[in-house]
């Protein structure tokens, strides 16, 4: 007989562990290589990182890699050409992805999130894609270098994800569909089937891409509209680019959107890859108190990653001071007005906003004009991108209000560092985007339902489902932004643990060359948009939900969406429709054929639209109501929007 006492302990232990793990959704990351020609049948471990701070011996790690590989091979006995795999165990789940031939990535996560595995898969794939974009294909990197690079890329990436509780539940349903899909802005004329090239597009094309000096040197310009708040998804995402052969567009777009959603905004630190999230000291203390046994390993010491020598950083701080036009005195440093601060209270924000708006209308975020003492990544990003073939390109980033432009330039083009070239480029961009702001033409029509349309070939999706963005509702200040190297020195020098003293929240390293002769146009997107948004929020079913309801809805949608993969093998039925109506008011319609996927979410309780009585509705979509039908009739024949 088991003693009651012992049983009691067991249960509470289990619960405690479960509770502790629940906040730590990702448990381990493994990367390994399994060469086809390896004689001793052993896999080469490239990275094994346990995020739960469990200490594992090399033997333990190799065992796990061996078992993962064993299962992979075992399942290939039954089906060839496996691409990815989901393991479900009682206490955790695991995703294994073959990223390159013989190269495998695996992550393990808590079983409480097991049903969310498609989101983990997409995220893992993104993480790998961003790595390749920055460092190149794994198979081209030597093992010794590779392990170091993987360490630097994968570990901070998943550490950040783990800092945010319920990260994957919060993510909207669109992040679970496919790893190549990226969000796009919606324009009302395109929705109506008018697909004419706009004036501002022509301007940018003629003056930047096709201009005599730039031709074939500037490969492409990708324009994104990334507003700070996440209320209106229709105005969020990719706007346009100019080279239809740019195959890495999904990766670049998702990378930008990912930075925006993780840090709340796109800044030069985010683009340079030096910014990261960390728990505030207060939060760490709170957690330590909760855990009773304060572990020193849990403390994120600020000295663990100092990459810049202190003397060097002293110079850096002075230069930043000069750059932003503030005295170079260190005592003034913390008094500088933040150019943006997603963590600050709303009153503070509004007080500063007008000034900031005027000052920071446009600037180079990543350009050779940034001070030369800063790491190279602040001058230009060197990305592996694919047009016709894979190659390295220099990428510059420029910002104007809420528009981000990524300029992709041939590596051989030397004029990139010349101020005159950048000045001219900025002027052209400014003119083009100003034209855009004069009449953005975003889709603003009210609709009482939410939707996502995904065009498979173009990898683009258009959605009205609100996305998750970090830092918007941070009232408890559990997280802060830190910049690798610079922040640590700043803390040391000022002996100030105040979270606002991070460079990330104090200043932007952008270079803004003033174009004094231009006045900033006040676009019509301002107040009208806000008014529109409030009505939209009133009717969209996502806008009305509390956080827990939203999590529940996200879970349900993922189940419905996940089931669609079960019917992929029926090739003869190339157009599949399904509609699900639940008693709690949720109504979901899903349509999929070879070219697109349409998801419509509606609350049938609040369906004020009169039912169509006049004619018999043969099509399933007509059961969703008049507004959906008329919307569908508008968009169904032309693509993409």
Partner 1 sequence: MEKSASFQINPQNSARATTSVDLTNHLSARGLFHSDADAGTSASIKTKSNPESATATISGSVGADADLNIDLQSLITSELNSIYPATVNQSTSNKSANTSRFIGERTGKDKHFFIFTSAGKLVFSQWENESHAMGLTGIIHTVMNYFNINDNTSMKQFSMYDGDGIMTRFVFADKNHIKLMVQCSNNYESTAQLQQQLDLVYSYIISSVSQRNLNKLMMKRSNFDLQHYLTDLDQQLLQSLCDSLATQQKLTWFANSLECLPMTPKKRNAINTVLSSQYLDFNISNRNGQILYTLVTSLDMRLISILRPSNHTLHTIDLQILFELVQLQLTDLLLDKVLWFPICFPKFNDNGFLYALIKVLPNRTIIMVISSQKNAFETLNEFVGRIGDKLMEDVNSNNLEFPLLDWHKMFPCINHFVYKMKRTVQIYTPFQPTNEMLQYYNHLKNLCEDDQGRTLNKSSIAMLKWKNDTSPGQLSGLYWTTEKFELYILLNDINISNQSILRSAKRLIQHMREVESYLFISRGVTF
3-class SS of residue 471: coil
Q: Would you say 453 or 586 has its CB closer to partner 1? A: 586
CA separation for the pair 374, 209 (Å, rounded): 29
- Kindly list the residues in this chain that would bind partner 1 in the complex (CB under 8 A): 60, 63-64, 67, 70-72, 74-92, 115, 556, 559-560, 562-563, 565-570, 572-584, 586, 593, 616-618, 620, 622-623
Which backbone phi and psi does 45 adopt, to 5 degrees?
Answer: -80, 125
Q: Would you say 457 or 530 has its CB closer to partner 1? A: 457
> Shortest distance, CB of residue 94 to partner 1, whole angstroms?
8
For residue 75, how many C-alpha atoms fall within 13 Å in the half-sphere facing its CB? 13
The strand ranges marked E within 377-459 are 381-386, 390-400, 403-409, 450-455
Contact in structure between 234 and 464 (CB atoms under 8 Å)? yes
Q: Would you say 92 or 131 has its CB closer to partner 1? A: 92
> Shortest distance, CB of residue 2 to partner 1, whole angstroms?
17
> Shortest distance, CB of residue 578 to partner 1, whole angstroms?
5
Q: Which two tokens stand for residue 13?
A: 């232990």
Q: Would you say 347 or 575 has its CB closer to partner 1? A: 575
Q: Locate tokens 């093992």: which residue?
A: 143
> Shortest distance, CB of residue 585 to partner 1, whole angstroms?
10
CA separation for the pair 628, 641 (Å, rounded): 16
Q: Would you say 32 or 467 has its CB closer to partner 1? A: 32
> Shortest distance, CB of residue 423 to partner 1, whole angstroms?
47
Q: Would you say 70 or 538 has its CB closer to partner 1? A: 70
CA separation for the pair 253, 261 (Å, rounded): 12
Q: Would you say 30 or 150 has its CB closer to partner 1? A: 30
CA separation for the pair 194, 197 (Å, rounded): 9
> Shortest distance, CB of residue 74 to partner 1, whole angstroms?
5
Question: How many C-beta atoms lie closer than 10 Å to residue 413's C-beta?
Answer: 17
> Shortest distance, CB of residue 580 to partner 1, whole angstroms?
5
3-class SS of residue 393: strand
> Shortest distance, CB of residue 564 to partner 1, whole angstroms?
9
> Shortest distance, CB of residue 542 to partner 1, whole angstroms?
18
The β-bridge partners of 597 are: 454, 592
Question: How many C-beta atoms lie closer than 10 Å to residue 5's C-beta?
Answer: 8
Q: Would you say 236 or 591 has its CB closer to partner 1? A: 591
Contact in structure between 638 and 193 (CB atoms under 8 Å)? yes
Q: Would you say 318 or 578 has its CB closer to partner 1? A: 578
Contact in structure between 154 and 134 (CB atoms under 8 Å)? no
Q: Which two tokens stand for residue 181?
A: 């899909």
Q: Which two tokens stand for residue 389?
A: 């073939």
The strand ranges marked E within 101-147 are 103-110
3-class SS of residue 506: helix
Q: Which two tokens stand for residue 166?
A: 């319920």
> Shortest distance, CB of residue 105 to partner 1, whole angstroms?
15
Q: Would you say 91 or 496 has its CB closer to partner 1? A: 91
Q: Which two tokens stand for residue 241?
A: 């680019």
């Amino acid at each position: 007989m088991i003693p009651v006492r012992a049983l009691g302990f067991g249960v509470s232990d289990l619960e405690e562990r479960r509770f502790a793990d629940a906040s730590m959704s990702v448990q381990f990351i493994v990367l390994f290589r399994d060469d086809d020609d390896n004689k001793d049948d052993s896999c080469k471990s490239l990275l094994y990182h346990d995020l739960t701070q469990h200490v594992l011996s090399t033997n333990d790690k190799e065992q796990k890699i061996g078992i993962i590989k064993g299962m992979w091979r075992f399942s290939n006995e039954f089906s060839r050409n496996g691409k990815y795999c989901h393991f479900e165990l009682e206490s955790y789940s695991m995703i294994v992805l073959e990223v390159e031939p013989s190269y495998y990535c695996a992550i393990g996560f808590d079983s409480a999130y097991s049903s969310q595995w498609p989101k983990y898969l997409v995220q893992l794939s993104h993480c790998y894609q961003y790595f390749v974009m920055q460092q190149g294909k794994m198979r081209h990197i030597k093992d010794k270098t590779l392990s170091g690079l993987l360490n630097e890329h994968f570990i901070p990436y998943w550490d950040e994800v783990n800092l945010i509780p319920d990260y994957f539940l919060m993510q909207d349903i669109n992040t679970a569909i496919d790893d190549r899909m990226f969000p796009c802005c919606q324009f009302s004329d395109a929705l109506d089937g008018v697909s004419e090239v706009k004036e501002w597009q022509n301007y940018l094309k003629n003056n930047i891409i096709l201009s005599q000096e730039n031709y074939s040197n500037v490969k492409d310009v990708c324009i994104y509209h990334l507003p700070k708040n996440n209320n209106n998804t229709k105005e969020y995402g990719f706007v346009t680019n100019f080279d239809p052969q740019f195959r890495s567009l999904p990766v670049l777009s998702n990378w930008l959107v990912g930075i925006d959603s993780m840090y709340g905004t796109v800044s030069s630190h985010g683009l340079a890859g030096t910014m990261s999230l960390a728990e505030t000291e207060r939060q760490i203390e709170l957690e330590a108190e909760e855990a009773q046994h304060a572990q020193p390993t849990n403390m994120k010491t600020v000295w663990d990653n100092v990459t810049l020598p202190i003397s060097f950083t002293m110079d850096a701080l002075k230069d930043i001071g000069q750059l932003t036009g503030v005295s170079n005195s260190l005592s003034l440093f913390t008094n500088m007005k933040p150019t943006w601060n997603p963590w600050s209270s709303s009153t503070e924000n509004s007080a500063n906003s007008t000034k900031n708006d005027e000052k920071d209308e446009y600037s180079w975020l990543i350009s050779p004009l940034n001070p030369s003492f800063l790491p190279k990544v602040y001058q230009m990003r060197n990305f592996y991108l694919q047009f016709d073939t894979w190659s390295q390109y220099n990428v510059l980033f420029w910002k104007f209000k809420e528009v981000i432009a990524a300029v992709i330039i041939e590596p051989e083009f030397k004029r990139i560092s010349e101020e005159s070239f950048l000045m001219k480029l900025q002027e052209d961009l400014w003119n083009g985007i100003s034209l855009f702001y004069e009449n953005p033409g975003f889709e603003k029509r009210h609709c009482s339902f939410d939707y996502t349309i995904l065009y498979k070939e173009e990898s683009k999706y258009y959605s009205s489902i609100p996305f998750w963005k970090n830092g918007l509702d941070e009232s408890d200040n559990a997280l802060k932004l830190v910049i690798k190297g610079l922040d640590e020195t700043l803390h040391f020098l000022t002996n100030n643990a105040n979270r606002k003293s991070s460079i990330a929240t104090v200043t932007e390293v952008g270079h803004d060359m003033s174009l004094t002769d231009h006045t900033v146009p006040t676009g019509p997107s301002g107040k009208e948009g806000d008014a529109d948004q409030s009505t939209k929020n009133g009717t969209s079913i996502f806008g009305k939900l509390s956080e827990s309801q939203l999590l529940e809805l996200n879970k349900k949608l993922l189940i419905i969406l996940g089931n669609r993969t079960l019917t992929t093998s029926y090739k003869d039925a190339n157009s599949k429709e399904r509609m699900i109506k639940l008693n709690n008011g949720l109504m979901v319609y899903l349509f999929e054929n070879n070219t697109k996927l349409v998801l419509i979410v509606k609350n049938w309780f609040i369906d004020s639209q009169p039912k169509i009585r006049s004619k018999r509705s043969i099509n399933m979509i007509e059961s969703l109501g008049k507004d959906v039908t008329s919307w569908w009739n508008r968009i169904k024949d032309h693509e993409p929007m």
